[in-house]
Structures are given as structure tokens and as C-alpha cells.
Amino acid sequence: MDRDRILLTPGPLTTTLRTKLAMLKDWGSWDADFNAITAGLRTRLLDVVHGRDTHVLVPLQGSGTFSVEAAVATLVPRSGHVLVPDNGAYCKRAAKLTQMMGRKATVVPFAEDVPVSADAVEKRLRADPSVTHVLLVHCETGTGVENPLAEVAAVCERHGKGLIVDAMSSFGALPIDARTIRFDALVAASGKCLEGVPGMGFVFLRRAVLDACAGNSQSLAMDLHDQHFYMEKTGQWRFTPPTHVVAALAEAVAQFVEEGGQPARLRRYADNCSTLVEGMGALGFKPFLKPQIQAPIIVTFHAPGHAAYDFKRFYEAAKQRGFILYPGKLTQIETFRVGCIGAIGRNEMQQAVNAVGDALREMGIPSGAPAL
């Protein structure tokens, strides 16, 4: 095969040659040139959510989950109480990390095939005034469902509760505007819809709550309050930064702006998603979610009901044809997932559908239809 395999995953994902080339230079972590890259990147990321007047941007080493954990530890005092609406695997992860840091967490369960209900969140806030924060996963990547960020944010604002948003799979693609949606923290990462490489998370912190965050975190390395003020004072990261990842993300964000920013990125991903769903439907596959709640980020499909189906064989057959799929995240039924994000377009999505069709034929499966 004369090209890299296309990653149809929710991150890491396929990147452009320009982004890859940006990693070929070594940087000194305290050097003024590298500090300028960090400063410019922080400003450009704030512009994506129109947040220069209301928020600061704090980068952090590690995967996106590192930054979710850091945001909870920094924002929520030890005596705090976090409400977690749960309609999937990443919501459950958010609740688990909150509890592991010694903060009280209350989970409000929802079915995996429906969005979180803002009305249900409001009822819980009325019933339990001890809740201090709500932690919302904007796009639950376990299924691909989009949760109602604006509606939940409005509920939190009415009740005077802090809002922490896990926007890992949505930031850069789905619209988020800090001028109209109040959030105390919003977390995203380099290797998702911005089409950088993995290794760096970042958190938007609302200026109005910054001072109250001092001393909350029980972690030295993951204290976003300290990270922010050290960066403001010195222009440097407190600890060794992922220099190549930062340089790649700066280049990826430049391409994001050139493409037309969030609206253009959403249009391309939506076209990818519709191309995928239509093509897979022609092969008999059925999406897990209804179209009206499907975010154009990752699509969960029911596994074929045929006796010859085995995900590992299916995965390998697609891989041999140049495409990396993603296993399902549901526990009750067998599924697999196909990402719509990355430096890919309609042609690659159609090629992926063709590869899936070839894989079915190789396995002797006449249709992708589920056993429903």
C-alpha cells in the first residue's frame, strides 16, 4: 500500500502532510520561538469559541482525559458535588474520575440512544441544592449522540451552578460560542476535530472563577490554576511540553482557519457523515442512532446479524484495504463505529464504504443488516 491507512476513528485521526511536516523540527521548551508558538495557539483557540473577553486557555500535556481530570480537580473544591448526566461510556468515565479525586459525584442515567434532558438536569438541581457543578459530555463518542449544550448551560446559569463541558469530540466542528453559552470550563484536545496529533489537551477557564480555583487541585502536574499563572508570568509551560505536538497543532489550526473555521469544518464532516450513512445503508447496515440526534463525528452501526460475522476478521479485512475502523462501546448489543472526522472528505468516505462492501464479500456475508 502506497499511502497511510485512513483512520476512521474519533482520534487519533488522519492528518495532512503539512501537519506531519510541522513535527520535523526540534524545539527548545524554554526558547522564545517556541513560547511564541504557544502564545499564538492559545489566542487562536480562544477565537474558535469567541472567548477572548471571558475565558483563558490553559494547555496541558497528555490525552484529553488528562485535561478532563485536571479541569474537575481545578474547578471543583474538595467539598464540591458534581452532577453527571450519563448517556454513554465517556459520561461514565467522567463520573469515575470525579469520584477517584475525592469529589462527590451523582449520576443521572439516560438511555444510550437518547440525548441528555436539560429538564431532568433542572429537576435534579432543584431537588438537591448541594450540587455545585454539572459535568456534561457534549458529544458522547461511545455512540455519537449530541447532547444539548446550550439548554444545559442555561439551566446551570439559572441555578448558579458551575458547568464543566467535555467537548473532546465536538470542539472545532459543532458550534460553541462563549458569548451566548456560559461555561466555567470547556475541555478539548489536539487530536480530534482540529486535526492535530494526540498528546495535548486544553481547557478554557472562565475568568470570573479563576481566583476561586487556587488550591483546589490535589495534583502538582495537573493544577490548571498554577499552569495558567505560570504561563502568564513566564510565557513557558511549567513542565516539559510536547513540543512537536504543539507545533503540529499550531499548523493544524492555521489550516482550520484557512478552511473557514468551525462552519466549514462542520460542513465537511456533515458531508462525510451523510456519504457514510447512505453508502453503508445500501450495504444493509443500520445506524444505532436516529438521524436527528446523530452528531457528524462518529457513527455507531449495528453489527451484521450473519453467523459468519466476527469483528476482528471484519476489522482486518477493512485494514487490508486501507481503512481503520473502531470497535463498539455498547455493552448490550454488538456494534462497531466509523469516524467522520480527520483530514478526509467525500472521496475517502466512499472508498471506505467500498472497502466495507469488499470485506463483507470476503467473509461470505451477503448483507450488513443486523439481527433485529
Whether residues 177 and 117 fall in one domain: yes
Helix-, strand-, coil-residue percentages of the chain, each rounded to 5: 40, 15, 40
pTM > 0.85: yes or no: yes
How confident is the model over 235-277, as pLDDT tens digits? 999 999 999 999 999 999 999 999 999 999 999 999 999 999 9
Whether residues 111 and 225 fall in one domain: yes
Whether residues 202 and 159 fall in one domain: yes
**pLDDT surpassing 60 at residue 336:** yes
Question: What does the block give as the cell for 218?
Answer: 490535589
Q: Residue 287 gets which letter from DSSP? A: B
Whether residues 114 and 40 fall in one domain: yes
**pLDDT surpassing 80 at residue 44:** yes
The phi, psi pair for 301, rounded to 5°, reads -115, 145
Terminal CA-CA length for the chain: 37
Domain annotation covers residue 99? yes
CA distance 332 to 350: 30
Whether residues 150 and 62 fall in one domain: yes
pLDDT for residue 1 = 43
pLDDT for residue 332 = 80
- What percentage of the chain has pLDDT greater than the value 70? 99
In order of 276, 335, 351, the CA distances from 304 in angstroms are: 16, 9, 20
Q: What integer is the mean pLDDT of 50-54?
A: 98
Residue 163 belongs to domain with CATH number: 3.40.640.10
Q: Which domain holds residue 78?
A: 17-258
CA distance 83 to 72: 12
Domain annotation covers residue 372? no
Q: Could you tell me how many helices (H) and strands (E) the chain has, helices first?
A: 12, 14
Number of domains making up the chain: 2
DSSP 3-state assignment of 272?
helix
Whether residues 248 and 266 fall in one domain: no
Whether residues 241 and 279 fall in one domain: no
**pLDDT surpassing 80 at residue 3:** no
For the chain, what is the mean pLDDT?
96
Q: What integer is the mean pLDDT of 198-202?
A: 98
Task: For residue 11, name the pLDDT band (cuts at 50, 70, 90).
Answer: confident
Whether residues 55 and 195 fall in one domain: yes
In 169-297, the DSSP E strands lie at 185-189, 200-206
Whether residues 91 and 149 fall in one domain: yes
pLDDT for residue 50 = 98
